Amino acid sequence: MSDNISVPVLFVPDLVVLPGMVVPVPLDETAQAAVDAARSGDENKILIAPRLDDRYPTHGVIASIVQVGRVPGQEQHVAVVRGEQRAHIGTGTTGPGAALWVQVDLVDETPVTEQTKELAAEYRKVVLAMLQRREAWQVIDAVNKLTDPSALADTSGYSSWLTNEQKRELLETGDIDARLRLLIEWTGEHLAETEVSDKIASDVRDGMEKTQKEFLLRQQLNAIRKELGEDEPDGADDYRGRVEAADLPDKVREAALREVGKLERSTDQSPEAGWIRTWLDTVLDLPWNVTTDDSVDLAGAREILDADHHGLDDVKDRIVEYLAVRSRRAQRGMSVVGGRGSGAVMVLAGPPGVGKTSLGESVARALGRKFVRVALGGVRDEAEIRGHRRTYVGALPGRIVRAIGEAGSMNPVVLLDEIDKVGSDYRGDPAAALLEVLDPAQNHTFRDHYLDLDLDLSDVVFLATANVVENIPSALLDRMELVTIDGYTEDDKVAIARDYLVPRQMERAALTADEVTITDDALREVAANYTREPGVRQFERLLAKALRKVAVKESTEPGAITVDVDDLVDYLGRPRFTPETAERTEVPGVATGLAVTGMGGDVLFIEALSAGGIDSARSAEGGARSADGRGPQLKLTGQLGDVMKESAQIALSYVQAHAADFGIDPAALDGTVHIHFPAGAVPKDGPSAGVTMVTALVSMLTGRRVRSDVGMTGEVTLNGRVLPIGGVKQKLLAAQRNGLKTVFIPQRNEPDLDDVPAEVLDALEVKPMVDVAEIVAQALEQAQTESKAA
């Protein structure tokens, strides 16, 4: 900027802006023209000059426009400006727009001398003494951090004890020493006057007579009693006026007026009066007739959902469908039928870390509604949902009513987090209390025990999250739409990390894209060999760890850093997971099954071993000998449930009955057959390992190894039929993560393949099967004698 420049000028009444100050300036028509003219230029500069009297100002301050907007609660726009340099106003000139333009000469700061530093130190002492008397500790910290004498002097623009005339004189004084001398004089005089005033007030208080003290204390006592409602005849009348003035439904108003009548008839000493007041306050605080308008922009809602979360198309489609139906009903004037609204009730079920909880807030933003989260993990008291009855001391409404009050509207998005972890004991079953809340046919008349009033929840969008669907009571699950989020593929994780996780963790580590780059190959390596999870929570922790190490390296060795596959060992250590299927299946009797746990899909190695001739005294639990005293005995280990134990019995019986078909020597079955499920600390149950146990048994008894690239799942019957199971998508995702190539599933599960991502189906050869014998024939390697003959 040159020493002589042309800028638009804005005259502000009763305001003096000094360099360094950031102040809002109201915008009228003239001020708006000046601001528009300044923003149209490249430098975004404007001259702020004070108009305190009829005198034309000679000085102003060159300021930059920080922001233009509307102050909350006001209609008028304001411009936030930051003062930068003093300027002497010259002659008028012309410029673009309707603003007044002037020529100004910039006033350069005088050099800082030793005398200047001494004056600045003296002024600092005076101003800190004044601020300490006012207990302005934050301002004191800011003043202590200032080292520039000119900047220290110009902070006086915020001083309330200086007049506008004095501030204008400071603006017109270019010499730093002169400004500091003026401030020392003025601030010292004000400090002396303040000390005298405080001393006089202290003397007056100390000299107050006893009767005056008693009068003051009695007045305070009366005020306290009035606030407590004691000896206050108009307390009930106040509640009656509030109820009559409130926007309440008719039935709620009638109930509230009945309670006001009880309050009027009760005495202040009665505990019921306090209960009634608390109940009335709760009712009056609820937003009975307050609702927010739903968004009608379907494309915009989908963009919000896509911007916040990768994938999860089922949930996004359901929300957009909900919005489309709401919009069409509103356009056609179709009212709610029978008092039932069109609120959605969905449960998002899936393993941890896939984005279920964070999706609720995105849904609320897409709908244009308020959002409130209700944590249900570990809740065991039914009163937490329905509220306590008012007869109990400390009674409160339930979490649903409190959530409505917190949201401030009757149609928020309520996220019921961890609904599968709700417990039950002698205090009741909270899951049963949720039946009415989550039933679209009943929740328009939900009745909380504390309120004892009908609350319409029919327009609320309820989203519940769960890790294990089986832990949700069937009656409760029947009232909700089940949306399963089975986990992410490797490509999904790379995309999520690139678009969401890396930028978020870079911001938390105070790094920029110019300073560090993580390649897609590195992200894929982390997803494949450093984490084995359906979600991305551990993935994000590892990225955070790597970026923290990058921040340390950047601080000691500045320069752009690229994190590639070869660098991961330095940042994250060696890979935690390596393919183990080939190693585990090197010996006969080991088969690879697929299972679903609360953490998502996973592989399950089943080991079988025959110990022929073991004494019957060491018979296995759950096993039995044949009627003639011969036959296999079954021993099971691995912390199994009853269903899985029965599946093992079925598998052994089937193999025994078809031993000749599989080429098994009958003598091999005369002894103890031991089936072990590794990871014995983890409880296991379910019938889906039936085909895997049959394959492991045949492999062990024939000496033929199971192919290392094969996985399988399915329930088996006594005649060898393969029955359908659940969690196909999660199991196939686990198979892909663990490097399997061929997966056998029940034929009746073939329709479930429509939900499996295409990239998973491309990586796997999925074979729907009907007979377990066919699975065994294709899963086992050829016998050594057969291969030599071939």
Known binding residues for ATP: 350-357
Angle at 715 between CA 710 and CA 718, to 5 degrees: 115
What is the C-alpha separation between 486 and 105, in angstroms, rounded?
69
Q: Is 731 a catalytic residue?
A: yes
Beta bridge partners of 483: 348
Catalytic residue among 45, 316, 729, 731: 731
Q: Which residues are annotated as a binding site?
A: 350-357
What is the C-alpha separation between 37 and 23, in angstroms, rounded?
19
Whether residue 471 contacts residue 424, with contact meaning beta carbons closer than 8 Å, is answered with: no
Residues across the chain: 790
Catalytic residue among 688, 699, 708, 729: 688
Closest alpha carbon to 374 in 413, 344, 410, 408? 413
User: 3-state SS of the chain: helix, strand, coil percent to 5?
Assistant: 45, 20, 35
Strand pairing report for 4-13 and 101-106? antiparallel
663: number of Cβ within 10 Å: 12
Q: Is 788 a catalytic residue?
A: no
Please give the structure tokens belonging to residue 201. 């007030």
364: helix, strand or coil: helix
Query: What residues contact 683, with CB distance under 8 A and at least 6 apart?
Result: 639, 640, 641
Whether residue 432 contacts residue 382, with contact meaning beta carbons closer than 8 Å, is answered with: yes
Give whole-number Cα distances, 47 to 57, 495, 516, 520, 725, in Å. 12, 49, 42, 51, 76
What is the C-alpha separation between 591 and 585, in angstroms, rounded?
7
What is the C-alpha separation between 732 and 504, in angstroms, rounded?
30
User: What separation, in Å, do the N-terminal and C-terminal C-alpha atoms of the chain show?
Assistant: 91
Encoded amino acid at 131, one letter: L
Q: Which helix (H) or strand (E) holds 105?
A: strand 101-106
Catalytic residues: 688, 731
